[in-house]
Structure 1
């Protein structure tokens, strides 16, 4: 069973990457493309998460690469993709940008709350993942940044237990997978393809 988990995630990621910008419907009722800066913010977030996963001192005593992925169960992948996605053809469905962005926003809030509540004695999460996550949220979403998120800061004076380090590893791996989806969606909306008529 463990072998299936190890090979399933890379195979799934390979499939997602091999589909050119999600061949979604050509007649999508959306107002306009996402800003170029949002593509940059999303890419920076993904790079920071990926870099953070390689920080050995963050995961002392744990081989994070061998741990399973703790992926938040949301409808982001389905609501941000066509109902019948294919890698080689055009899907017959509509893309609901508002629903997609709402779902992404909920994911980002969840991960921000989790990471802000995680002890960060080496000050790794704050200036990298949390900063880029906050920039993406503040600059690319029309919703205001909630006050309860604005006041949250990663704990810098508390040491992490083994279980906290293990949980952080698994959640960051899940956040990395979700951020790949978010990058693809933002890139798709930035291209303006979803606004073209059939």
Structure 2
């Protein structure tokens, strides 16, 4: 499977320093209209996904022989999630977002989720550390918040492989680190949209 990934190298200090701005920048989306409402459940499931990704990154079995915290980050470069989900009025890298299109933001998020889901389901998981955590969290988030999505998040059989190569473990580390950063963006966006929903007047 060919996947276009943008490789970014960060030290832990630079990653934290640049997070607030760099997270709101990159990507591309298909026009689509949704009537989706961002509920409390969406906020909860997005937070759970981030927790499970962060937990996976601490699993030594997944990254045997690799100090994952010191590896570079690979971000999905095929979406505009960071830009599409930048709140109105936020300034980053000199650009101020004048409008916020919730449909474009949600569309980019679901594309990101599908991209990482496809990558992770194709990766060997001999110890079943990803299936019941990260992959399950992705499916639950989509099920609760993206019912209009036509992307395939079907429950798939884990890759039958009882071992992983060094290169596979290294790639998983880099992609998971990228997914963690993108999921921080997703959490911020969902939190922003949820707050906007709560401010809308109730129709009598």
The corresponding residue for 2:55 is 51
| Cα deviation digits, residues 16-42 of structure 1 (max 9, x gap) | 79xxxxxxxxxxxx9785110000000
Q: Which has the higher helix share?
A: 1
Give TM-score scaled by structure 1 length: 0.80
How far the C-alpha of 1:124 sits from its partner, in A, is 0.1
Tell me, in whole angstroms, the C-alpha distance in 1 between the residues paired with 2:116 and 2:40.
Answer: 23
- Residue from 115, 130, 134 that aligns with 1:110: 115
Tell me, in whole angstroms, the C-alpha distance in 2 between the residues paired with 1:40 and 1:192.
Answer: 16
| Cα deviation digits, residues 26-74 of structure 1 (max 9, x gap) | xxxx978511000000000000000000001110000000101111112
Tell me, in whole angstroms, the C-alpha distance in 2 between the residues paired with 1:161 and 1:71.
Answer: 21
Tell me, in whole angstroms, the C-alpha distance in 2 between the residues paired with 1:138 and 1:160.
Answer: 30
The corresponding residue for 2:31 is none
Q: Which has the higher strand share?
A: 2
Matched positions, count: 179
- Residue from 166, 172, 192 that aligns with 1:168: 172
- Report if the CA contact (8 A) 1:123-1:156 is conserved: no
The corresponding residue for 1:121 is 126
How far the C-alpha of 1:82 sits from its partner, in A, is 4.4
Q: 1:139 to 1:72 in 2, by over 3 A?
A: same
The corresponding residue for 2:16 is 10
SS at match of 1:122: coil
Q: 1:42 to 1:119 in 2, by over 3 A?
A: same
For structure 2, the 5+ residue unaligned runs are: 1-8, 24-33
Tell me, in whole angstroms, the C-alpha distance in 1 between the residues paired with 2:187 and 2:73.
Answer: 19
How far the C-alpha of 1:100 sits from its partner, in A, is 0.7
Q: 1:151 to 1:169 in 2, by over 3 A?
A: same
RMSD (CA atoms): 2.8
Give TM-score scaled by structure 2 length: 0.78
1:79-158 aligned within 5 A: 79-82=84-87, 85-86=90-91, 93-144=98-149, 146=151, 148-158=152-162
How far the C-alpha of 1:85 sits from its partner, in A, is 1.9
For structure 1, the 5+ residue unaligned runs are: 18-29
